[in-house]
Amino acid sequence: MRTLLKKVAYVTTSLALLFSILLLHLSCSGDGINPDPEVKTLISDFAGNGAVSVDRIGNVYVSEYGRFVDTGGSGTRIFKLSPKGKILDTILGLSGPMGTAKDSKDNLYVNNANNTVNGQVLQIKPNGDREIIATIDGWPSSMTIDSYDNLYISNYTAPTVHKISSSGEMTVYANDPRLLGGVGIDLDSKGNVIVANFYTADIYSIDKKGEISLIANIPDIVIQNFGIGYITVINDTIYATGIAVNYIYKISMNGEIEILAGTGEVGQVDGPLLEASFHNPNGIAANKYTKTLYISEYTGSGGVRKIKL
């Protein structure tokens, strides 16, 4: 009898200990209390100041747009970074590269060689071979890609969004005067194309029928025609850079707007979201699995900032 009681007590104690360990694990893995998100600097003194994208395994691509000279950007490179900020590769020989996207076959696509009349969509294959797959009138500025490897491309000086299918067929996905000035572009969970207007700080949704609706306008952020730099979407929440006002914004699909990060002051100070500062935040993209934002800075010494939501 005593032996049986000892066994019961041992099993009870073991189960209690196991339950305590399980509770501790859950509290540390996302269901309990997490530290407040902070802005951190992934890499500093960095030339990548343009568009940002994240591939399927979490590597970060940052375009060196440079500065506007004559009819395009002065930059010539795209940097590939690890999630920890190590430079893994540098793609050379480009001309004012802007938006990028990676497909399921590891091809990289780039908005390249804009001259205010037209611009290229350049494909860079895993072996380094390059091919211009499209030339688009206007200033094709940024791009996003869906799960079927279809590209959607915004346009800074034409009122269009183009679609390039995985087979290479290009069509005009939407044509509307409100899209003139489009730069930031991404997709929501329903496959709607979300486009932000650089000039006006308007954010639009384009459904699969091509119907356009206004989601929100971020007020009082446009300075000398600089409004929203780029956008990204996580779980149907939009994150946008206020390039001229040094804020990162969070926008719901219902049009609710809040400041996610930044003091509005120019700087490169890390810390709690509303105490950190940015130096003209421009590109923004997300690792949508880890809910991590990566943000480039257009001016200053350059850098990529990171926010784990």
* φ/ψ (deg, to 5) at 13: -65, -40
What pLDDT, on the 0 to 100 scale, is given for residue 70? 85
Whether the pLDDT of residue 28 is over 80: the answer is no
For 199-239, write each residue's pLDDT tens digit.
Answer: 999 999 999 999 999 999 999 999 999 999 999 999 999 99
For residue 267, the model assigns a pLDDT of 97
Q: What is the mean pLDDT of the chain?
A: 92
User: 89 - beta bridge partners?
Assistant: 80
Domains plus CATH for the chain? 37-308 (2.120.10.30)
pLDDT digits (tens, 9 = 90+) for 233-256: 999 999 999 999 999 999 999 999
Instruction: Enter the pTM of the model.
Output: 0.89
Q: What is the model's pLDDT at position 35?
A: 73
Res. 12 pLDDT band, cuts 50 70 90: very low
Cα-flanking dihedrals φ and ψ of residue 284, to 5°?
-150, 135
Using one digit for the tens of pLDDT, what is the confidence trace for 37-83? Answer: 999 999 999 999 999 999 999 999 999 999 999 889 999 999 999 99
pLDDT at 71: 85
DSSP string, 243-265: TTTTEEEEEETT--EEEEE--SS
Other beta carbons less than 10 A from residue 274's beta carbon: 14
pLDDT tens for residues 14-27? 444 444 433 334 34
Three-state DSSP at 118 gives strand
pLDDT tops 60 at residue 13: no
Joined together, the tokens standing for residue 62 give 């940052």
Percent of the chain with pLDDT over 90: 87
Lowest mean pLDDT among 9-18, 36-45, 107-116: 9-18
Count of alpha carbons within 13 Å of 291, Cβ hemisphere only? 10
- Residue 147 clears pLDDT 90, i.e. is over it: yes
Tokens 């001229």 belong to which residue?
A: 244
Name every residue whose Cβ is closer than 8 Å to that of residue 36 and which is 6 or more positions away in sequence: 272, 273
